[in-house]
Structure 1
Amino acid sequence: MSRLSDVLLTAFAPAIWGSTYIVTSQMLPEGYPLTAAMLRALPAGLLLMALTRKLPSPSWLGRLLVLGGLNFTIFWGTLFVAAYRLPGGVAATLGGVQPLFVLLLARMVLHTPLTARHLLAAVAGIGGVALLVLGPAAKLDMVGVLAALVGAVSMACGVVLTRKWQPPVSALTFTAWQLTAGGLLLLPMAAFYELPLPALDAGNMAGFVWLGLVGSALTYFLWFRGIERLGPEVVTNFGFLSPLTAVLLGWLVVGEKLAPLQMLGAVIVLGCVWLGSMRARRPVAPKQASEADEQRAA
C-alpha cells in the first residue's frame, strides 16, 4: 500500500472522532460520561479480540494496562472533565498542544529528529484550531484547564509508547488489546461513580454502536496502524482534523454559522496537516553526491 493511502487512512480516524461531540450530545443519555466511555471501548475491544483470536502473553499485560490507561482511561476521563468545565473551544485549543508533546516525547524516547517543519506545523495548527473554535466569550476554569492538559499529555505518551512497545502482532490485534485494557479500567470507575443507565431507545443504541464500532474499533485500528507505518511525528498533526470535523458537522447538522475567522482557521488546519505529513527529503549519500558532481562537471 502506498504512503498516500496510509496517510489518508490514518487521517480518517481523527476526522471521524470529530463526530463524537454531536453524537454524544444528540444521541446519548446525559450524565453518563464514564459509562459512555466504557461502552465505547470495552465492547469494541472484545469484538476485535473475538475476530483476531489472539490473547496477549502474561509478560505484555503490564504494558497493555499502561497503554489502555493512557490512550483511553485517562484521556477520555479528562476529556469529559474538560468538556464539562470549559467551553468547547477552550478545551479543543488546549488539547491542540498534544502534537508538541508528541514531538518532544518522540525525540526523548524514540530519538526521532525534531525538525523545524514538524514544529511549525504543530504550533501553527494550535493557532488554526483557536481561530476555528475559540469564541470571544471563552472563560477559563483551572480544573478544566488542568484536565485538558493532562489529557493531552496522556494521549501524547500513549502515541509514543504505542510505537515504542509495538508487539509482534497485527495492528488489529494490538488495537483489540488496548481497547479491552482501557475498557476494563473504565468499568469499575463507571460502576462506582455513576448510576445504572436508563432504558435505551433506538437513538441511544445507534449512538453507542457508532461510537463503539466506527468511533473506536475502526478508527483506533487505523490510528495505531498509522503510528506503526508513519511514525508519531507524522500522525500527531492529524489530530487537528477532529475539531475541524466537529465544526463542520455543527454547521451541516445543527445549523451553526461559520465566521470568516473560522474559515481561515480551517484553511490553516488543513495546511498544517499537509505540512506535517510531507515526507522528509533523504540526504544524498557522500558517494552519490560526488558522482552527481562529476556528472555535472562533465
Structure 2
Amino acid sequence: GPVVAGESLGLEAVADVRRHGLVGPLAGGAHAHPFQQGTGCPSPGRLCLHPVHRRRRRRVRNSDSGGGSCHAAGVSSRLVLATVFLIALLIGGNFTSLKFALDHTTPLMLTAMRTVVGGTFLISFALARGEKLPRRRDDLARIFVVSLSITTLSSAFLVAGVSRVPAGVASLVASTMPLFTAVLSAILLGVGVMRMGAIGLLIGFAGTALLAAPSLSGETATLGMIAMVLSAVTWAFGTVFMKWKDFSRVTPVMLVGVQLVMSAAVLVPVALVVEGLGDTEWTTGLWLPLAYSAIPANAVTFALLATVVRRATPTQAAATAYLIPLSGVFFGWLIRGEVLGLVELAGGALVVVGVFVLVTENARRAVAAPVPAEEP
C-alpha cells in the first residue's frame, strides 16, 4: 500500500533504506544488530552506513544544507513540495473513493479487486521498463511477509474500517501508522525514541483516543475504529520488517507489484468464499472509484514517492505523513458532505500534531546523524 493501502509508504520505507543505507540509531553493546553485520561499522551504538551509501548520504546532506546553485535548488525545492502536495491529494481522495466503491460491493471483495488491478498495472509497468521479477526464495519469502502484513491484512482492515466510519475519520486514524512504527521499531529493532519523539507519540495516541471516543456509542463505528487501528498496526509491522530485511535485489515498483499479486492470490479466493459476488454491482459506480483507487491513488503515487525520496530533504519527505490526513478530511467534507464533531476535530488535530512532531524529529536526526569518514 498509497496511504489507503500501506504499500505506498512501504515503498517509501524501502527507498529510504536504499537512499540512506542503514536505519538506526541502533542499540549498543557487544552483539551487533543484524543491520550492522558486514558493514564495517566501527561503533555498534551509532548510525552506520554501508560503504556504497556513504557518498550518497553526503550528497543528501549537502542538498539539505543548501549546497549548489541557489536558483536550481529553489526550483527543485518547489517541484518537490508540489509533488508532496500532489501525493497527499491523490492519497487523501482515496478514502472518499473507497466509500463510493463500497456502495456497490463488499469490503473484502473490494480489497481483493484493488490488489488485482493495482498488481497487474504495476508489474506490467515494471516489466515494460525492463525490471526483473524476483526469483530467489529468500526474496520471495520476505516479500510475502510484507504482502501479508501490508497489502493483505492492513488493506483488508482499512477497507473494513472505511465501510463503518466517515472517510475523514478513517484518514486520520490511518495516519497513526508512523506512531506505531516508532513503537515497533523500538521493540523489535532497538531504535531509540528521543524526548521530542516520545512527546509526539503521547500527543498522537491521545488524539487517537479522542477520535475513538464518539465511536464507542455504536457497535458498527466501534468495530470500524478497531479495524482502522489494526490496519495501522499491521501496516507499521510491515514497514519495520522492510527496514529490517534486505530488499535491495528487487526494484521498489516491482516489489510492490509482486506484493499486490501475492495478496490477490490470498484475498480473491477468501472473498469469494466469505462474501461471494451476490452483493457486487458491476456498474460504473464501482469501476470508476476502483480504477482511481488502484491506479492514480496507487500506481501513480509510487512513481511520485520514488521521486520524492530521491530528491527531497527528510523534512519534505516526512510532510506526506501529516498532509494526507488533512487531505482525507477535506475530500470527505467536499465530496460526501462529512462534518466532524468537535471531539473528532480535536482528536484529529492532536494526531496530526503528534505525527508532525515525531516525523520532523526523525528527519532532524537523519540529517544530524554522524557519517563515518569515507573510505579512500
Give the TM bin, normalised by the shorter chain: 0.7 to 0.9
How far is the alpha carbon of 1:181 from its aligned partner?
1.7
**How many angstroms apart in 2 are the aligned matches of 1:258 and 1:144?**
16
Aligned residue identity for 1:174: L
Aligned counterpart, 1:252: 334
How far is the alpha carbon of 1:199 from its aligned partner?
5.1
Contact 1:48–1:176 at 8 Å: present in 2 too? yes
Structure 1 residues 196 and 190, CA gap change in structure 2 (3 angstroms): same
After superposition, residues 38-53 of structure 1 pair within 5 angstroms as 38-53=112-127
How far is the alpha carbon of 1:55 from its aligned partner?
1.1
After superposition, residues 109-188 of structure 1 pair within 5 angstroms as 109-128=188-207, 136=214, 138-139=216-217, 141=219, 144=224, 146-165=226-245, 166-188=247-269
TM-score (norm 1): 0.73
TM-score (norm 2): 0.60
Structure 1 residues 234 and 122, CA gap change in structure 2 (3 angstroms): farther
Deviation string 1:20-79 (CA, Å, 9 cap, x unpaired) is 332122345434211211221222112221222221114122222211110021112222
1:205 aligns with 2:287: yes
Q: RMSD of the TM alignment (CA)?
A: 4.1
Structure 1 residues 270 and 7, CA gap change in structure 2 (3 angstroms): farther
Residues paired across the two proteins, number:
284
Aligned counterpart, 1:72: 151
Give secondary structure in 1 for the equivalent of 2:148. helix
Contact 1:28–1:203 at 8 Å: present in 2 too? no
Structure 1 residues 229 and 123, CA gap change in structure 2 (3 angstroms): farther
Contact 2:184–2:240 at 8 Å: present in 1 too? yes
175-184 vs 260-269, which deviates more?
A: 260-269
Give secondary structure in 2 for the equivalent of 1:18. helix
Unaligned runs of 5+ in 1: 286-298
Give the fraction of aligned pairs with identical amino acids, expressed as a percent: 23
1:196 aligns with 2:274: no
Contact 2:179–2:201 at 8 Å: present in 1 too? yes
**How many angstroms apart in 2 are the aligned matches of 1:150 and 1:262?**
19
Equivalent residue for 1:279, pick from 319, 343, 364: 364
1:100 aligns with 2:179: yes
Contact 1:102–1:233 at 8 Å: present in 2 too? no
Aligned residue identity for 2:368: R
Contact 2:101–2:110 at 8 Å: present in 1 too? no
**How many angstroms apart in 1 are the aligned matches of 2:170 and 2:217?**
10
Structure 1 residues 193 and 226, CA gap change in structure 2 (3 angstroms): farther
204-213 vs 176-185, which deviates more?
A: 176-185
Name whichever structure is richer in helix by fraction: 1
Give secondary structure in 1 for the equivalent of 2:133. coil
Structure 1 residues 121 and 146, CA gap change in structure 2 (3 angstroms): same
Aligned residue identity for 1:282: A
**How many angstroms apart in 2 are the aligned matches of 1:19 and 1:216?**
11
Aligned counterpart, 2:110: 36
Aligned residue identity for 1:68: S
Unaligned runs of 5+ in 2: 1-59, 65-76, 372-376
